[in-house]
Amino acid sequence: MGIPVVLDCDPGHDDAIAILLAAGDPALDLLGVTTVAANQTLEKVTLNARRVCTAAGITVPIAAGSAKPLLRPLRIADDIHGESGLDGPVFGPPTVPVVDEHAVELLHRLLPATVIATGALTNVALLLTRYPEDAERITEIVLMGGSTGRGNITPYAEANIHVDPEAAAIVFGSGVPVTMVGLNVTHQALVTPDVVARLEALGPLGRTCAELMVFFGETYRAMFGFAAPPLHDPVAVARVIDPTLVECVDAHVQVELTGTHTLGATVVDLDGYRGLAPNAKVAVGLDVDRFWDRVVGAIARLG
């Protein structure tokens, strides 16, 4: 059996591929998918998780979680992910159900496991607050979020952390082993035309993925001027699949909660200026070719 993981996500184009990578790679045993409002409303991201699982024949339990951040109003990313949160392909009616249980309860029930978080950290923070003893039962939290440098929603904040910074602060302060996979590395996972062609060649599921990537590429070009879009979330999954795919260093990370212009920035003390003990592993490098082989291989296996 593979490494037991639960994926907490907000699909979302890159979250969709993260689900496929987590379900399709033999190194992992995907126990469940939980959803959190961020890229779109909770209702839409949960429907999207069902759509993706239905398209790929994934039958793990899916549970809906938090509809809004702990303290702040929800800010969605429809400019990147579209009206549905997963614009591009036409999906058939979803047949995979949502379980009658809050995401926090499903997460609690599925532990021990590694928690991979690719949306706002609201559900994970609520889990740690409601069930403090679960800190011992989470093998690791591997999150896509933050950056060692600049942001993507404000000059210094990355979207997943900025949407719910208080939740992120709880996670980084929890004492659970945390790995942060931020923009400084995910911006190397560019969906080039070559990657799109490899997906298209796989069959119906691969073609659906290619259509997702084409839409994602258009919004990234329009919003950020990227020639090819960065596939953030699967990089966090890849770190769990094979740690040698994503190089990490130990560092202290603090989430900016009071900055006038820097709310949600991750202050990553790579040089140890502050003299604080590291509280996270921070991604600093990606083996790009082997990453894409793993993503394409997982989708091929499912399709």
Q: Which residues bind Ca ion (CB under 5 A)?
A: 10, 12, 15, 118-119, 233
| Interacting residue with ligand BDR among 39, 46, 48, 179 (CB under 6 A) | 39
Give the range of 12-20, 64-72, 216-224, 243-251 binding ligand BDR by CB under 6 A: 12-20
> In angstroms, rounded to a whole number, what is the distance separating the alpha carbons of residues 140 and 246?
15
Decide: is 266 part of the binding site for ligand BDR (CB under 6 A). Answer: no
Q: Which does 61 bind (CB under 5 to 8 A by kind): Ca ion, ligand BDR, none?
A: none
Give the range of 59-67, 132-140, 155-163, 255-263 binding ligand BDR by CB under 6 A: 155-163
Decide: is 232 part of the binding site for ligand BDR (CB under 6 A). Answer: yes
**How many Å is the Cα radius of gyration of the chain?**
17
Of the pair 144, 191, the CB lying nearest ligand BDR is at 144
Annotated catalytic residue 232: yes
Cα distances (Å, whole numbers) of residue 224 to 34, 70, 79, 83, 153: 29, 29, 11, 19, 11
Decide: is 123 part of the binding site for ligand BDR (CB under 6 A). Answer: no
Question: C-alpha 179: how far from its chain's center?
Answer: 12
Decide: is 15 part of the binding site for ligand BDR (CB under 6 A). Answer: yes
Q: Which does 80 bind (CB under 5 to 8 A by kind): ligand BDR, Ca ion, none?
A: ligand BDR
Beta-strand ranges (E) seen in the chain are 3-9, 28-35, 62-64, 113-117, 138-144, 178-181, 246-255, 266-269, 280-286
Indicate which residue of 81, 187, 232, 252 is catalytic. 232
> Could you tell me whether strands 280-286 and 178-181 are parallel, antiparallel, or unpaired per DSSP bridges?
parallel
Beta-strand ranges (E) seen in 58-110 are 62-64
